[in-house]
Structure 1
Amino acid sequence: MLGRRGGRSLLAATLLALAALGWLVAGWFSAGPLERATAFMVPDGSSLGGVASKLEAQGAISSAKAFRIRARIFGAGAPIKAGEFMLPKGASPSRILSIIQGDEILRRFVTIPEGMPSIMVYERLMANSQLTGTIEVPAEGSVLPDTYEIDRGESRQAVLRRMQAAMQRTLAELWAKRSPDTVVTTPAAAVSLAAIVEKETGKSSERGVVAGLYSNRLRQGIMLQADPTIIYPITKGKPLGRRIRQSEIQAVNDYNTYTMIGLPKRPITNPGRASIEAVLNPAQTDVLYMVADGTGGHLFAKTLDEHNANVERWFTIRKARGDF
């Protein structure tokens, strides 16, 4: 009796496994939902998950989750390439992956995200196999974060020159439109302050207030005390990967705004257009302090007492998370 039950269980498991395999195979090679040929862009540095979500959003596949599962089982080991691709009408998930892993690129792009430091710009350009030649690490703050079209075989130096020219054009345009309330007196100072704003907030809605806060501190001769300025001379802008040490807070150098009044001698990253614009047109505010709020944003305060209460709130959140 037990043997029969065991045999039935084994048969059921086998049939279930075959059904699952049939589902995987059919879904991978069957026609997809695209009703017409569609151009699809893969941003530089995209992950399989990110591309799958974008494919689903554009109606090229039925399920991002199913695409990821099948791609990991059946897909070739080749990396996804950045660029613009043409996906045929009814392209199967298998065909789509083959296209974005292959050389059927209509247009090629390289993306520099807002706040990417120059050492990482250098690494991204050097790692791009479509480009040729070598470059030096560009001056910090000289590159405008954006998505740039590139040609196969184009020199890295030519691409870098375009990125730097874009920064110069953008800076000149925004400088001409600056508010009389901006605290910075030169375009170079605008980039240095914008770099701090860029690193201090990832929320676009906060940029103007953060710019206003640091503008207030500069006017009043108060140290900026921006943590990213401590980290920059240690990592050249890359993530620190640990808590800042007390000795690093007290370090005296050209960047640490905990031991100097005013701006760092040079930018600490490549700020985007929005952060430069925020510095040149800061929000009208009386705030002088800010601390993280646990949601990716900040709590702002006008007085030290308000700020200390906000800091206590932040420490409570961190303790609840088990940070210390």
Structure 2
Amino acid sequence: MPKKKTNWLFYGAAIPLTIFAAGVVSSFWWVWASAAPSSFNSQVRLTISEGMPTQVIGQELEDAGVIRSSLALRLWLQWQSLRSSQNIALRSGTYDFRTNQSLQQVVEQIQTAQSTEVRFTIPEGWSIVQMAQLFEERKFFPAQDFILATQRTSPRRDWLPKDIPTLEGFLFPDTYQILPSEATPDRIIDLMLDRFEQVALKTYQENQSGIPKVKISLKDWVTLASIVEKEAVIESERRIISGVFWNRLRKNMRLESDPTVEFGLNIRQTPENPLTLEQVRTDSPYNTYLNEGLPLGAIASVGLASLKATLDPAPTDYLFFVARFDGSHVFSRTLEEHERALQIIDKQIRQKEQ
């Protein structure tokens, strides 16, 4: 009986002591793990890619000597998540870290997006000229330097069509990150061509390798899709607009698309200042009122939605459409219906002007 009592006394004392010792060791470990890896102010540049798992980010930071423990990083983020009752994420970007930063300082730098990179966004439907103006405004380089660089189509990529006049249409619209020191026309073009290859070219190849709804070359696909991009404002109309253009091409009808005239003349019409008859009759290799078939090349950057709509046009017997200038269109099957729609819209515009 006394022996049992001795055992209980032993365990009663040992368990608290073990817990206490574990707590002390954990505290010492945390002080060590969250401290700066070095007292030297060395710089380490690392890129955190979009969607990179926290475990991978932590391991790369540890391997690079930015933090002492990837486990400590995960524990700190979990603690932050519990305190804020929401998931704490680390933002993508390229960062210049210092090896004398604590774990908390490293995390704060990433969470507040103190990235070394700069970001820029190219919207769907922008032309090379608009991109060039943005880069000049952001003080990357002169607009003309970018325009000239986009005229050098070879050697760029093996998959690029050989007969394109410029890279118009092949610079994929998206948000990009780049180091200021690397922001040159050619480097930005490479980024945008890479994105086109990853997103658009993959879509095209997968579609055309099977039994496609429409058979079309890469150049013609991008060219036609760029016209769809400029014409379509409302998502529900995108495939219908594509269907109208495909119907007109099959019937050997001119596309008669206003954006092709605007692109050829480097102008932009508005409800108050629509295209004039003289402008529509001005010859250019992009004018689809004067020239049959597709224009010389694309007229804008093309988003994935318009690219897909061009490969999957809506089954329709429409041959005409006219914009209401609110983003929507009136679709018609005959020239007579189309002319009536034009008259109604012209009347509505005149009434608004009064």
Task: State if a TM-score over 0.5 links the two structures.
Answer: yes
Task: Report how far residue 185 of structure 1 moved.
Answer: 1.9
User: In the TM superposition, what whole-angstrom CA distance separates every residue of 1:117-139 from its partner, at most 9, and x where no partner exists?
Assistant: 01111222233246899543522
Would you say the 8 A contact 2:225–2:302 is kept in 1?
yes
Among 166, 173, 176, the alignment partner of 1:145 is 173
Residues in 2 aligned to 1:40 and 1:246: alpha-carbon distance in whole angstroms: 55
Residues in 2 aligned to 1:312 and 1:126: alpha-carbon distance in whole angstroms: 42
Q: Which residue pairs with 1:122 in the alignment?
A: 132
Residues in 2 aligned to 1:118 and 1:252: alpha-carbon distance in whole angstroms: 21
Task: Report how far residue 273 of structure 1 moved.
Answer: 1.3
Q: Which amino acid aligns with 1:152?
A: P
Would you say the 8 A contact 2:119–2:177 is kept in 1?
yes
Q: Which residue pairs with 1:51 in the alignment?
A: none
Would you say the 8 A contact 2:247–2:319 is kept in 1?
yes
Q: Which residue pairs with 2:190 in the alignment?
A: 161
User: In the TM superposition, what whole-angstrom CA distance separates every residue of 1:56-80 from its partner, at most 9, and x where no partner exists?
Assistant: xxxxxxxxxxxxxxxxxxxxxxxxx
Among 196, 201, 221, the alignment partner of 1:172 is 201
Task: Report how far residue 240 of structure 1 moved.
Answer: 4.6
Unaligned runs of 5+ in 2: 1-83, 92-108, 151-166
**Larger Rg belongs to:** 2
Residues in 2 aligned to 1:137 and 1:40: alpha-carbon distance in whole angstroms: 35
Q: Tell me the SS of whatever aligns to 1:171.
A: helix
- Equivalent residues in 2 for 1:174-193 (5 A)? 174-175=203-204, 176-178=206-208, 180-182=212-214, 185-193=216-224
Task: Report how far residue 253 of structure 1 moved.
Answer: 2.1
Are 1:215 and 2:243 matched, yes or no?
no
Task: Report how far residue 208 of structure 1 moved.
Answer: 0.6
Residues in 2 aligned to 1:319 and 1:285: alpha-carbon distance in whole angstroms: 31
Q: Which residue pairs with 1:234 in the alignment?
A: 265
Are 1:247 and 2:278 matched, yes or no?
yes
Bigger Cα displacement from structure 2, 103-112 vs 137-146: 103-112
Q: Tell me the SS of whatever aligns to 1:190.
A: helix
Task: Report how far residue 301 of structure 1 moved.
Answer: 1.2
Would you say the 8 A contact 1:130–1:153 is kept in 2?
no
User: In the TM superposition, what whole-angstrom CA distance separates every residue of 1:54-112 from its partner, at most 9, and x where no partner exists?
Assistant: xxxxxxxxxxxxxxxxxxxxxxxxxxxxxx9956xxxxxxxxxxxxxxx9457632100
Q: Which residue pairs with 1:14 in the alignment?
A: none
Residues in 2 aligned to 1:155 and 1:278: alpha-carbon distance in whole angstroms: 33
TM-score, reference length from structure 1: 0.63
State the Cα RMSD in Å: 3.0
Residues in 1 aligned to 2:141 and 2:256: alpha-carbon distance in whole angstroms: 40
- Equivalent residues in 2 for 1:1-324 (5 A)? 104-105=114-115, 108-129=118-139, 135=146, 136-138=148-150, 139-156=167-184, 157-175=186-204, 176-178=206-208, 180-182=212-214, 185-235=216-266, 239-240=268-269, 242-322=273-353
Change (3 A) 1:265 1:128: same
Unaligned runs of 5+ in 1: 1-34, 42-83, 88-102
Count, aligned residues: 229
- Which structure 1 residue ranges, 4+ long, deviate > 4 Å from structure 2? 35-41, 84-87, 103-107, 130-134
Residues in 2 aligned to 1:214 and 1:132: alpha-carbon distance in whole angstroms: 37
Q: Tell me the SS of whatever aligns to 2:120.
A: strand
Task: Report how far residue 167 of structure 1 moved.
Answer: 1.5
User: In the TM superposition, what whole-angstrom CA distance separates every residue of 1:162-218 from its partner, at most 9, and x where no partner exists?
Assistant: 102212333321212256332x52011011001111111211221111011101000
Task: Report how far residue 40 of structure 1 moved.
Answer: 12
Residues in 1 aligned to 2:291 and 2:268: alpha-carbon distance in whole angstroms: 22
Task: Report how far residue 297 of structure 1 moved.
Answer: 0.6
TM-score, reference length from structure 2: 0.58
User: In the TM superposition, what whole-angstrom CA distance separates every residue of 1:16-52 from its partner, at most 9, and x where no partner exists?
Assistant: xxxxxxxxxxxxxxxxxxx7999899xxxxxxxxxxx
Change (3 A) 1:132 1:158: farther
Q: Which residue pairs with 2:38 in the alignment?
A: none
Residues in 2 aligned to 1:142 and 1:224: alpha-carbon distance in whole angstroms: 22
Would you say the 8 A contact 2:244–2:317 is kept in 1?
yes
